[in-house]
Structure 1
Amino acid sequence: MEQVSKTNEGRVVIVTGAGQGIGRAHALAFAADGAKVVVNDYAADSASAVVDEIVAAGGEAVVAAGDVADWETGAAIVQTAVDSFGRLDALVNNAGFLRDRMLVSFSEEEWDSVVRVHLKGHFVMLRHAAAYWRGEAKAGRTPRARIVNTSSGAGIFGSVGQGNYAAAKAAIAELTIQAAAELGGYGIVVNAIAPSARTQMTMGAGDAMAAQMAAPDDGSFDAMDPANISPLVVWLASAEAGDVTGRLFEVEGGTVTVLDAWQRAASTDKGARWEPSELGPVVRGLLVDSPEQVKAYGAR
C-alpha cells in the first residue's frame, strides 16, 4: 500500500474546544498526520478522553483544559505546548458555544458570553501564541507558524436568531485579515475557515436544522460529518501552506470555497459633494451593478 505523506510530521499544534465535535475531529486528524497535539477544552474530562484516544492510536497529545477567553489560561495553554513538546508550530482556534435569540430578546449575559468566548477567546490565544513566535523570530529562529481561526457563514452573511454569534464570527474574519497583515514579518501565517458540519451546536439549533444535519442511513457520503472539515485545517496548519494568508475558506462536505466578501464592488465618483436628493438613483444603480447580496440564513 502506498504510504500517504504527512504534512505535519513532528509539528506541535494547539486545538481549542477539542473535546467534541469539529475540534475533536481536528485533534484526531492532526495526530494522524504526525503532529503532537495540545488538546484544549473547557471540560477537562472531554479533553482527556480525546488525548487517550490519540495516545491509544500511537500519537502524542497532552491536555490543556480551561477557558480560552481567560488571559492567564490562554498563556498557560501556550506554555503547555512549549513545556511538553519543546515548541509550538500551529494554533487552531475552534472553541465556542451558542446562546441563540432574536436581537430584541437577548439578555446582556447572552450577548456578552458568546462574544467573549468566540471573539475574545480567539484574540487571547492568538495574542499569546504570536508573542511566543515573535520571541522566536527575534532570537533568530523565525518559525513557520500557522494560525487557523474559525469564523462562520453566519458571520459573513448573517443568520436570523444568531446576532451575537454572527457578530463575533464576522469580527473573527476581520481579525484574521488584521493578524495576517501584522504578523507575517514574524513568520506567522493566519487564515480562517467557515465550517458547516453536524455538531452539538448545530443539532441544537432547531428541528429543521437538525433534520438537515442528520447522518444518512443509506451508507452514502455523510456531508455533515465534522471530520470533513479537518483536512483543510490540517493543511493550512502545515509548513507547506506558507504562501496562503489572510484568507477565509468555507468548508462543507467535500466542497471548499474561497469567501471573498471583503471586496469593493461598483463605485461612482461625482467629483464633488453629493446632495441627498441625488443619491437614491445613484445607490440603486450601484446595487444593480454589484454582485447580488447573499441573504442571511433564515431570512425571507
Structure 2
Amino acid sequence: MLTALELMANGNLRPSHLRAWEELWAGSTLELTGPDDLSRALIGCMFYLLSAFPSLHEAPGHFGGVSPGGLSNGGSGQDYWGHVFWDQDTWMYPSIGLFYPQLARAVLEYRVRTVDGAKDNAEKQGYKGLKFPWESAVSGREVCPEDIYGQQEIHINGDVTLAFQHYLYLTQDMSMFTEGRGSEVIWGVADYWVSRVTWSAEEQNYHILGVMPPDEYYYNVNNSVYTNTVAKFSLEFAVELAALLKYPAPREWQQVADKIKIPFDQKQKYHPEYDGYKKGECFPPLPTFT
C-alpha cells in the first residue's frame, strides 16, 4: 500500500482520498424527506463517525476502538485520553452495524483482543468471567483515572455483549462466534453476571448491588434498572448462542435471567432508575431497546 507521502509526491493523494470516501458513501447513502438541515446533520454525523474508523481495506487487528471524542487530540479535558467507553458499543455501533458489517466486526474484534484484560479485571474484583473496563485502551485492563467508575459502572459488560447480539441479528454471521472468539466474550460476561448477583430471600429474585447507573450523579445504588436489564439481555443471549452452537449452557444463566429484578413501580406504572429513586429526579436519556 502506498504511503501518504508517496501519494502526495506523485499527485495522487487527493484523488485517492476522494475515491476512498466515494466507496464509503456508497455504503450508507441517506435520502431524507424534510428539512435540508436535518439531512446535512445526519450526513455530517456519519462523516465524523467514519473518520474515526479504519479504512475498509485495513486489517481489523490494527483497530484500537473508538473514543467518544472521536479522533482525540488532547487539550482541555484531554478528550478522555482517547479511551474507549460504552459509547462505542451503544451509541456509535448501531449506525456502523447497519451499513458497514466489516467495520462493525472490527469493533467486536477489538473487544475480543481485550479478553485477557477483562478476565484480570473480574478476578481483581473477586468475580468470575469477564469484566470489561469502563475506560478501555489496548490491554482491556481498567484505565479509568477514578476507581469508582471501573468498580461500579458495570453496565459496560451488557453494552459490549449487546453489540455482539446486534451483529449476529444484522448479519447472521456465525463465524464471529465460532472462529472469532465472540462466544468467549458472551459466555464470559454471563459467568460474570452470575457471580455478581445476590439472591434476595425477601423479594425472591436476584439483585445487583452497589453500582453506578449511566446517570453518574448517583453511585453505590442497588438494582439500576438499566444495569439489570442489560445483564438480563446478556444472559438470555448467552443461552440463545449456546443453543445455536450446541454448547451445554450452565443452568444458572437462564435462572438468573428469569429471576433478576427489573425495578417497576406498579402504582405509578414506570421503571424507577434504581431502588429508592424518587420520581422527578433528573437523569440522562438512555438507549431504547426493541
Indicate whether the TM-score tops 0.5: no
Question: Per chain length, whose mean CA-contact separation is higher, i.e. which structure has more relative contact order (CA < 8 Å, sep 6+)?
Answer: 1
Higher helix share: 2
